[in-house]
Chains A and B, each alone.
Chain A
Amino acid sequence: MRAVAFAARSLVRQPARALLGVLGVTAVGALLFDMLLLSQGLIVSMGDLLERTGYDVRVTTTAELPRTAPPLERAAETVASIAQLPEVRAAIGIRFVDVTIDRPASEPMRGVRLQADQAITGTLQGVVGTAHPWSLLRGEDIAGSRGTRPTATNSSPGLTGAIVPPEKTGDSGSGTRDSIGSSAAASVVVNQHLADALGVEPGGTITVNASCESDLDVLPPVTLHVIGVASFPFELSTEKTVAGDMSTLDAACGGNGRDQAHIVVVTAATDAGVAAAAIQRLRPELHAATNAQMLGRIEQGGFTYFRQISTVLTTVTVAFALLLICVLLTVSVNQRLGEIAALRALGFSRRRVVADVLSESVLIVGTGGLLSLPAGFVLASWLDDILKRMPNIPADLHFFVFEPGALTVHVTLLVVTAIVAAIYPMSIVARLPIAATLRNEVTS
């Protein structure tokens, strides 16, 4: 009977203890797995989010994260000049302002009606170009409502309507793409949260009060036509978003267009790094970052906390697993010293009895480790839901993201745990004095 089969029989012999060990490793393994998913999860998820938008380079005034950096001035000119670069396929600028949103009193909402003092706060996005940094869920899109043709050069949602110079599209018409000063300023799309909160659907109207310069702005409300409902890649889980072209935002800001953008997003013609370098040469005072560089900034900006927490909890869980298995095996071995001594007397080698103990450890950790994977996925999903309720977390961002590398580390840590946890009980067996143990067994 080989060591593994022998160990399996030894475990079955004491099912309660074996079950306790397996359940313990399952719980600890699930936590360990989740910590590994957490250690890289935010970065992976953010990277995925950045890639999904279809943009390769983000241009801001400082190295701060978008929406926290001061806006860049002369946005239309900047966006146009960046779009002219041969390394760039297309570019759009986006400005964000805080707004309070309501329905006109003349339009009763479906569902609940907001009280007068319950105005909804949200964000109004104005876009240089009829750009779509969003995905339409239903209704019509801004460009469609204005009769603007989608850009023929790229089918990416992020590029539709972006500023694309005519020489890059082969199109002689230009008026439809740069929408600054467009006459269809009142058409907007809203996100699902806002649609739900106001009970508004495409075809309805909303009124917004914008705070364009400071929270103390007192601007007249502007009525906007909702033509579609869209999802926004970086919107927060509870964020209410209204989006339109820049002229819509200007109108909400009282008509005094500031020609600003908080960020310019760019699609590279070929390589993102080359495009970023070209933008940097063109406008040295701005900060052009590829998605990878943006991720680096984000990592430095606070995501490392999760990695540190993950590292600490990983260490604690592995230590707990080590102790659990070590105690279980040590107790098991100590209860079987007589049998082990008898096996040695019958000619079993030291290596063989040590292998039996190691096999028991591997079986417990292996079974528990296997069960820990589905348990870990369930736990990660639950924890992800809880963590995503934190403020200022984009709805599409996840804290726990599976990567093959995490599985590799998980398996490696469990294998190391199985071996290290077995060292002490293996040493008991290896150093067991056969004669003295047999004598003690008879006299005890």
Chain B
Amino acid sequence: MRMNSVIVDASHVTRSFTMPAGTVTAVRDVSLQIQSGEYVAVRGPSGCGKSTLLHMLGAVDTPSSGTLMFDGRDIAALSDRDRSLLRLRQIGFVFQRFFLLPMLTAAENVELPLSEAGVGKRDRLERTKELLDYVGLAARADHRPSQLSGGEMQRVAIARSLANRPRLLLADEPTGELDEATGAQISALLDRVNADGTALVIVTHDSTLAARARRVLMMRDGRVESEHQQ
């Protein structure tokens, strides 16, 4: 693993949306770098552009202006297929609403990105087991999401996001749907993921979770208003 190397380099990134009522700028002239192994929290009021920034960092959206380089590659210049491959192999996503597929078991949900990446069945099964062990759900491998609690579902989602050993894990309000105690368990799990070398960018309203990050960005009106190290 390349430590202290830049994974994401955003330079004067702006993202605007054309709406019927006019153009809305969600992210304005943001420049930042994400280093390998870093733990960054993005905070700010609703609608300040946190999630939009996260989506651009995760290559699911592209800037309207400015440049965003992922591992030295300009995301806007990549084809849709190449961006998909980049997300599949280098980036993990954890969502507020988990987005586990209800017709699949926990193990099958974790296995999905591996399957899409073309990993052989034997390796898939081995990696799935390893990941479920990692998040403490080996015993629930054959359970469907409807048979899991919110915290368990989020743990499966984290295991799924780590399937292809991403360099960067992005989490959008990962504790937003959970109670305080369960949120604390997820926070601890994310700490562990970061400690194991995966760079982490978390968008959160949860001050307890944000307090675990080593660097906190405060956003307002689409801009990074302040940034501090912890």
Q: Enumerate chain A interface residues (CB-CB to B < 8 A).
A: 1-2, 9-10, 12-13, 338-339, 342-352, 434-435, 438-439, 441-442
Contacts and interface: CB of A to CB of B under 8 A. Distances in A.
Contact of B84 (A2, A349, A442): A349
Interface stretch (B34-42, B101-109, B185-193): B101-109
> What band does the interface of chain B fall in when counting residues whose beta carbon is under 8 Å from A?
35 or more
Interface in B44-81: 51-52, 55-56, 58, 60-61, 80-81
25 contacts: A338-B99, A342-B95, A342-B99, A345-B58, A345-B93, A345-B95, A346-B87, A346-B88, A346-B93, A346-B113, A346-B116, A347-B85, A347-B87, A348-B88, A348-B116, A349-B80, A349-B85, A351-B81, A434-B60, A435-B51, A435-B55, A435-B60, A439-B52, A441-B97, A442-B172
Most buried by A among B60, B113, B160: B60
B158 to A, nearest CB: 12
A9 B104 contact: yes
A344 B59 CA distance: 11
A1 B51 CA distance: 30
B206 to A, nearest CB: 15
A441 B97 CA distance: 8
Interface of B: 51-52, 55-56, 58, 60-61, 80-81, 84-89, 91-93, 95-97, 99, 101-104, 108, 111-113, 115-117, 160-161, 164, 172-173
Most buried by B among A2, A346, A348, A349: A346
Contacts of B80: 349-350
Given A347-B113, A434-B60, A434-B61, 17 more contacts: A339-B101, A343-B112, A345-B58, A346-B87, A346-B112, A346-B113, A347-B87, A347-B91, A349-B80, A350-B81, A352-B116, A435-B55, A438-B95, A439-B55, A441-B97, A441-B99, A442-B96
B61 A347 contact: no
B60 A345 contact: yes
Contacts of B101: 9, 339
Contacts of A9: 101, 103-104
A348 B84 contact: yes
Contacts of B56: 435
B102 A344 contact: no
Contacts of A13: 102-103
Given A345-B87, A346-B87, A434-B60, A442 B108 contact: no
Contact of B160 (A344, A346, A350): A346
A438 B103 CA distance: 20
Contacts of A12: 103
Most buried by A among B103, B115, B161: B103
B60 A350 contact: no
A439 B52 CA distance: 8
Contacts of B60: 344-345, 434-435, 438
A347 B89 contact: yes
Nearest to B91: A347
A338 B97 contact: yes
A434 B97 contact: no
A101 to B, nearest CB: 71
A348 B112 CA distance: 9
A15 B72 CA distance: 47
Contacts of B115: 1-2
A398 B89 CA distance: 63
A9 B52 CA distance: 32
A346 B108 CA distance: 14
B52 A435 contact: yes
Contacts of A434: 55, 60-61
A374 B51 CA distance: 54
A439 B203 CA distance: 13
Contacts of A345: 58, 60, 87, 93, 95
